[in-house]
Amino acid sequence: MSGEQGKERPNKLKLGIFGANMDGGMTATKVKDRFRLTWPNVERVARAADEAGFEALLPMMRWKSMGGETDFHGTSYEPFTWAAGVSSVTDNIGVYSTMHIFAVHPLMAAKHMATIDHISGGRYGFNLVCGWFPPEYQMFGIPMPEHDERYAYAAEWLEVVDRLWTSDEPFDFNGKFFQLKQLQMKPKPVRRPRIMNAGASETGARFAAEHADMAFIGVLEHESEQQKRANVDRLRNTARDEFGRDIEVWSGAWVLCRPTEEEAQAEYRRVLVEEGDYSIIDSMPPGVVPPLDDMPKEEADMMRAKLLAGFGSIHLVGTPEQVADKLEAMSAIGLDGIVLTFVDYEPEIANFTANVMPLLEQRGLRNLRQEARVPDPV
């Protein structure tokens, strides 16, 4: 009932599952055994993550396909309704929606969120996205505002939502973007839903520091451990020093774990090198793909693989020991949590739970689970 918010002993390293509302999840591959989007599959993933003690189920919102042979991200479930459905089949895990704020009025969003918070018994949270892809704004017939203006709009949007969640009396709202009369909303959420934001720019990071409970940061593999830690510290300290707030800092990782390194590398070759849907790179929006032709071949290949798997996040490929080592290193730079993606979620959550989770427990990053299902490694 309580999700991570109610846990007495939070895990030192929290874990989430990212993208289980998208066909293919976060991996653009043609392999037949990739994640396929059906509601029974979503339910299975949600239950597996819940039983394994994960803290967060985080969907993605994409209105337009990224194209390619697999029509990458062309098929997805809408995150508010997804979160409502997922809430009703889980018991403890935090359930999130991701939504572009231009797509939904704050009055509607506040109501959706309070309702899901009731369905989940206070386990709901919201990943606030300002949007960056002009064709998605065009689908709504809205011109995309300039970058920092999108965050100014977000601050006001969230203020309306917050007042609806907390105000017992009807109120007027007179802002720059919203002029609203006699707002009221009941029921209130069970508790204030946690706000998540993944702004990567200076303005985005400041927005997250001021408004979010969970902020995302990209971890760049080529940086030193010291530099990575400094990046995490800077975000956390901005929240603390400038806004008097304690925030959690999270990142993402794409995981491929096999009993031996050879098996992990062979699977990596099968899923990404041989069967990767590289045609999506040609149809990606400008600005997303770095100038690959100007890079050394090895670096360009790695960049292509990252665009296909996990949308640029770090890759953890190897044995359970190696995956646990890398997760421990991510915790050591100060991260509170990591959202994971896999080629297919359900078998890989089982694999991770059986083989990596015990190592994380031994290293003091996770508390012992009460009653774990321990399936064989895949």
Ligand X SMILES: Cc1cc2nc3c(=O)[nH]c(=O)nc-3n(C[C@H](O)[C@H](O)[C@H](O)COP(=O)(O)O)c2cc1C
Residues that bind ligand X (CB under 6 A): 60-62, 98, 129-132, 198-201, 204, 216, 252, 339
Rg of the chain over Cα atoms, rounded to whole angstroms, equals 20
The CA-based diameter of the chain, rounded to the nearest angstrom, is 64
Backbone angles phi, psi at 233, to 5 degrees: -60, -40
- Pick between residue 173 and residue 311 the one whose CB is nearest to ligand X: 311
Cα 7 to Cα 3, 123, 215, 237, 240, distances in angstroms? 7, 11, 20, 25, 23
Nearest to 44, CA basis, from 378, 352, 350: 350
- Pick between residue 66 and residue 281 the one whose CB is nearest to ligand X: 66
- Pick between residue 190 and residue 235 the one whose CB is nearest to ligand X: 235
CA distance 289 to 279: 13
- Name the DSSP letter for residue 71: T
- Pick between residue 92 and residue 98 the one whose CB is nearest to ligand X: 98
DSSP string, 188-223: PPSSPPEEEE---SHHHHHHHHHH-SEEE-PPPTTS
- Pick between residue 101 and residue 349 the one whose CB is nearest to ligand X: 101
**Shortest Å, Cβ 236 to ligand X:** 16
